[in-house]
A = this chain, B = another copy of it.
Amino acid sequence: MRNKKAPHISVAIDCIVFGFDGSDMKLLLIQRGFDPERNKWSLMGGYVDEDESVDAASGRILENLTGLSGVYLEQLHTFGSVKRDTNERTISITYFALIDIAKYKQQLSADYHAEWFPVNNIPKLIFDHNEMVEMAKKRLQYKAALHPVVFELLPEKFTLPQIQSMYDAIYEVNFDKRNFSRKLLSTGLLIKLNEKDKMGSKKGAFYYTLDKDKYEENLFKIFSLIITPDHLQF
C-alpha cells in the first residue's frame, strides 16, 4: 500500500541506440569500463538522479557515454526481475534511440569507445541486455508500421533505394521495389531533388527529402501504406 515505507530499489536507465548507415541497421554498444563485468559489451546505462525526470536521465546518460545529444529517444519498457542486476536490486527503464549514423559519426568516434554492430549479429551482452535489444527490435517494427519515426534514421536527403533498404532491414524482408516506390511516393510526402547520389551505383539515384509541412499535417494517415501485419514478428 502507498502509505507504507518504500523499500530500497535502485533505478537505472539503459539506452538501445539504432542506427542506419544507408544500407544496414546497426546497434550501438560500449565496452563496460568497470567491475563487475568489466570489458563486456553493454548498452549505455546509468542511474537516475533524484532531481531529474527519467526522460531527462535517459538523454543525459546517452550523451555522457556517447556524446550524442538531441536524438530521438522513446521509452521502451521497464525491466524489473529481482536478480537481473547481479550486484544490487536495480530496475532498468529502457529507452530506444534512432539516429542517422553518418550524421553523428564524428561526435562518436572521437572521444568515446562505442561501436556499431549489425542488428542481426549482436554479441553476448551483460545482464538482460540481449533481451532488451530483442524487445526494442520488435517495438521498432510496430512503431514503424504506423508512425513515420523511421525518418529519424535517415539523413536530410536520401534515395529511394536507401529508404527501401531501411524497411527491408527493419522487417527482414525484401519489398518489391516497384510496389514500394509507388506506395511511398503516393503519400505525397517526398520531394524529389535535382541531385543524385552516385555512391551506390554508376547511374546514381535521385535524392528525396521530406515535405516537412505535409509531414506534420499527415502524421497519421501515412503509414501502413508500407507495412501490413504480415510483416510483423510476433
Contacts and interface: CB of A to CB of B under 8 A. Distances in A.
A48 B9 contact: yes
Given A2-B45, A48-B9, A50-B9, A93 B81 contact: no
A194 interface: no
A232 B219 CA distance: 12
A4 to B, nearest CB: 6
B48 A7 contact: yes
Given A7-B49, A34-B3, A80-B93, A224 B229 contact: yes
A11 interface: yes
Contact of A34 (B2, B89, B93): B2
Interface stretch (A51-59, A104-112, A155-163, A167-175): A51-59
Q: How many copies does the complex hold?
A: 2
A78 B90 contact: no
Interface in A130-173: 142, 146-147
A57 B91 CA distance: 13
Interface in A30-86: 32, 34-35, 45-55, 57, 64-65, 75, 77-78, 80-82
Interface of A: 1-4, 6-12, 32, 34-35, 45-55, 57, 64-65, 75, 77-78, 80-82, 88-91, 93, 142, 146-147, 219-221, 223-224, 228-230, 232, 234
